[in-house]
Amino acid sequence: EDQVTQSPEALRLQEGESSSLNCSYTVSGLRGLFWYRQDPGKGPEFLFTLYSAGEEKEKERLKATLTKKESFLHITAPKPEDSATYLCAGYGSSNTGKLIFGQGTTLQVKP
């Protein structure tokens, strides 16, 4: 069964303290790995798509990387406005665009 697992479940950082979020996946025939940001009571907001091992994408203080078994979301010098839940989702061999989501990592950045 396809599965996506994220760790840690919760992370508290001081402003400026860099860290990484982990997403481990067992998705048959992975065709894409997606990162989303979700604010409380809102829909997931698209951040990155990674298609192959070794690929990296960057956006402001965020950088996503992909290996054959996991993906990392690196946050460099975070600010309080980066506080949110970060979701990882895999798309595999179902060929219909169905995403398998992890449970998310809730990040709190304190000033």
Cα–Cα dist 21/105, whole Å: 7
Candidate ranges 10-18, 58-66, 76-84, 98-106; the one touching other proteins (CB under 8 A): 98-106
Shortest CA distance to 25 belongs to which of 87, 88, 106, 98?
88
Inter-residue contact 2 to 93 (CB < 8 Å): no
| CA quadruple 77, 81, 83, 89: dihedral sign | negative
Q: Does 107 bind other proteins (CB under 8 A)?
A: no
- Contact between 86 and other proteins by CB under 8 A: the answer reads no
- The CB-of-97 to other proteins minimum distance in angstroms stands at 4
Specify the residue, 13 or 100, whose C-beta has the smaller distance to other proteins: 100
Contact call for residue 91 and other proteins (CB under 8 A): yes
The amino acid sitting at 103 is Q
**Between 51 and 70, how does the x/- string for binding to other proteins read (CB under 8 A)?**
x-------------------
Tell me if 72 contacts other proteins by CB under 8 A.
no
Nearest Cα residue to 33 out of 50, 57, 53: 50
Please tell me whether residue 87 binds other proteins under the rule CB under 8 A: yes
**Closest alpha carbon to 4 in 34, 18, 32, 24:** 24
| Residues at the interface with other proteins (CB under 8 A) | 31-32, 34, 36, 41-46, 49, 51, 87, 89, 91, 94-104
